[in-house]
Amino acid sequence: MSTTSLDGKVAVVTGAGAGLGRAEALALADAGARVVLNDLPGAADEAAEEIKNRGGEVAIVEGDVAERSTADAMVAAAVDGFGSLDIVVNNAGMTRDRMIFNMSDDEWDAVIRVHLRGHFLLSRNAASYWRQKSKEADAPIYGRVVNTASEAFLGGSPGQANYAAAKAGIAALTLSTARGLGKIGVRANAICPRARTAMTAAVFGEDTSGMTIDPYSPEHVAPLVAYLAAPAADAITGQVFVVYGGMIAAVAAPGVAPRFDKAGDVWTASDLDAQLGAWFADRDPSEGFAADSIMKLTV
């Protein structure tokens, strides 16, 4: 029988000191998991104290998620400190918003580094641990990865070329993880949350909804993360979910619109113009690969 309990499981949550990461860590702890919190020095202290006050077990690993040493320390804190590593929640992130023509090298590198490299390092270390455990058991093991993408990669937010690219990479990393580790029991999914946090304060502004719980509260996101981490979600992998305000939307995989085939032995300019050019001639040029329908989701 499937269960949503995380009793006996050990989770690592990055960027767990505030906002989404904190809410996710609390949800995992409330479900029974022992939790390793990661954030910059001092940032996760209050979250750890709250978990302890709720009766949970918690450890803190301070450091930059984009440093290999931090990823090593997080896995060690879980395995050596709590005896296992079962759940990885990659949440840590940052923004350096700028139009692409004004974006500096450093602004690009910093966002790609924290988001994409940070997700990769911990996922890679966890994958290595799980693969070894599966070899030792000669059987599938329990492993869950929940990554944090964003609708920015679906809509191509114009002032966030670095952030959108990083989040697209995270979605692809999630799919590769799900397919590459599925046979040994690991499930990997990505969420695209809308949440009012310090990082998104300028995006969502103040809550004027009048609702009991702010539609953009991390409280609407954390339950999904805890569920995806649970045994009950064993059949869910390689998926991307938009989540906020009590709504979860499973994002469909991209599909082919039209297909064009060469008329002769190879494509010619006239053939391309007759087929490809003609198909696009009467289309709205703003209707590209961007998932505009997803961006219009409301609650």
Residues with catalytic function: 150, 163, 167
- Cα 82 from Cα 67, distance rounded (Å): 22
Are 38 and 64 spatial neighbours (Cβ–Cβ below 8 Å)? no
Token pair listed for 40? 């910059």
Taking alpha carbons only, the member of 91, 83, 77, 72 closest to residue 25 is 91
Taking alpha carbons only, the member of 175, 83, 167, 67 closest to residue 125 is 67
Taking alpha carbons only, the member of 232, 233, 226 closest to residue 33 is 226
Are 148 and 98 spatial neighbours (Cβ–Cβ below 8 Å)? no
Helix axes 161-181, 118-137, angle to 10 degrees: 0
Are 248 and 52 spatial neighbours (Cβ–Cβ below 8 Å)? no
φ/ψ of 145, rounded to 5, equals -125, 125
